[in-house]
Structure 1
Amino acid sequence: MKKNRPKYNQIIDAAVEVIAENGYHSSQVSKIAKKAGVADGTIYLYFKNKEDILVSLFQEKMGEFISSIEDEIKTKSNAKQKLLTLIEMHYSQLTKNHHLAIVTQLELRQSNKELRLMINDVLKPYLELIDQIVQEGMDENLFDSSLDLRIIRQMIFGTLDETVTNWVMNDQKYDLMKKAKEIHELFINGLAQK
């Protein structure tokens, strides 16, 4: 499979850097190839075009991210702990990789409708993971089961997404990880069984 090849990963990692530094529209395939240390034509052995590179890098990074969260939350005993883990890992993933934070928070927000739909498809498993944690909290009577699961998911994802976007837009002037427990408290208090 192509994705197991080292050049595929080199291109993905190079694309994250080039897109973060130049913006999606100014990132030519040739710049990505140069950064990856491959010939321009090599890119087309793995990707159809620049859009395919952007969607693929998001799929790759999001897939790794979801997998690591799933592994970590298995070790937690209840939905409150799982939700805190998800928040901390969401922030940690993006604070560790400045370029990836720029790409996910700014460059993935494209006006191209087809591209937006592909990116939304990649996000679905992450949103389903949030749903699982919330549903588990409802089943454990930790969270109010009369609340609408879709609204809760939007609130959680929207808050995490917006706080990271704000952090990126402010040139990471504060410690995002220090916000995790505070955000978690807001969610837990809002979701608490009355």
Structure 2
Amino acid sequence: MKKDKPKYKQIIDAAVVVIAENGYHSSQVSKIAKKAGVADGTIYLYFKNKEDILISLFQDKMGQFIERIEQETTSRQTAEEKLLTLVETHFEQLAADHHLAIVTQLELRQSNKELRSKINQVLKRYLAVIDQILEEGIKEKLFRDDLNRKLVRQLIFGMMDEAVTNWVMKDQRYHIGDQAKEVHSFIINGLTLHKS
């Protein structure tokens, strides 16, 4: 498998920096190779073309990102704690790698239909984590049971995603993690069973 090859991670990490700094369209394979410290031809032992690098980068980085979110949320007890952990971990991971934040929030948005479809495949696993939290919150009688779960999970993801995009667009001048509790509180208030 290509992921096991020694230079795969080197190329992926270099691609994140090059694409973030130059934009996807101006990021030639030769620039990525130079940053990774490999010959141009070496890239083609791992990837078909530049688009394949972008897809692999997203699958690899987002795979690790989702894995961490799964681990962190599983270790929490209630749906409310899990939701806060989800928001905090989402923000923390992107705050820790500003190049990756630029790539995920800006560069991947300009992609073609085929690429978007591959991105959506990866995100399904993330949406499943949100689904599980919603399910638990309903069982705990914390969340309303009349929720349109498909819509709610998109709104939760969309809210976090938009908060991060706004942070990237403002040149990351503030710490995105500081907004986690506010975002969490907003989501919880929208989902909670209000006692009459």
**TM-score bucket (shorter structure):** over 0.9
Give distance in 1, aligned partners of 2:24 and 2:56: 14
Give distance in 2, aligned partners of 1:22 and 1:87: 29
Deviation at 1:66, TM superposition (A): 1.1
Give distance in 1, aligned partners of 2:157 and 2:2: 31
Deviation at 1:111, TM superposition (A): 4.3
Q: Which residue of 2 aligns with 1:62?
A: 62
Q: In the alignment, is the contact (CA less than 8 A) between 1:110 and 1:116 conserved in 2? A: no
Provide the secondary structure at the position in 2 that maps to 1:43. helix
Return 5+ residue gaps in structure 1 as ranges.
none
The answer to whether residue 159 in structure 2 is matched with residue 191 in structure 1 is no
The letter for the 2-side match of 1:62 is M
Q: Which residue of 1 aligns with 2:178?
A: 178
* 1:78-118 deviation per Cα after TM superposition (whole angstroms, max 9, x unaligned): 11111111100100011010100000000000241111111
Matches within 5 A, 1:117-156: 117-156=117-156
Q: Which residue of 2 aligns with 1:14?
A: 14
The letter for the 2-side match of 1:56 is S
Provide the TM-score with structure 1 as the length reference.
0.97
Provide the secondary structure at the position in 1 that maps to 2:142. coil
Deviation at 1:4, TM superposition (A): 2.1
Deviation at 1:73, TM superposition (A): 1.5
Return 5+ residue gaps in structure 2 as ranges.
none
Q: Greater CA deviation, 116-125 or 34-43?
A: 116-125
RMSD: 0.9
Deviation at 1:145, TM superposition (A): 1.1
Provide the TM-score with structure 2 as the length reference.
0.96
Provide the secondary structure at the position in 2 that maps to 1:193. coil
The letter for the 1-side match of 2:86 is L
Matches within 5 A, 1:35-54: 35-54=35-54
Give distance in 2, aligned partners of 1:149 and 1:13: 35
Give distance in 1, aligned partners of 2:68 and 2:3: 18
* 1:19-76 deviation per Cα after TM superposition (whole angstroms, max 9, x unaligned): 0000000000110011001111111111111111101111111111111111111210
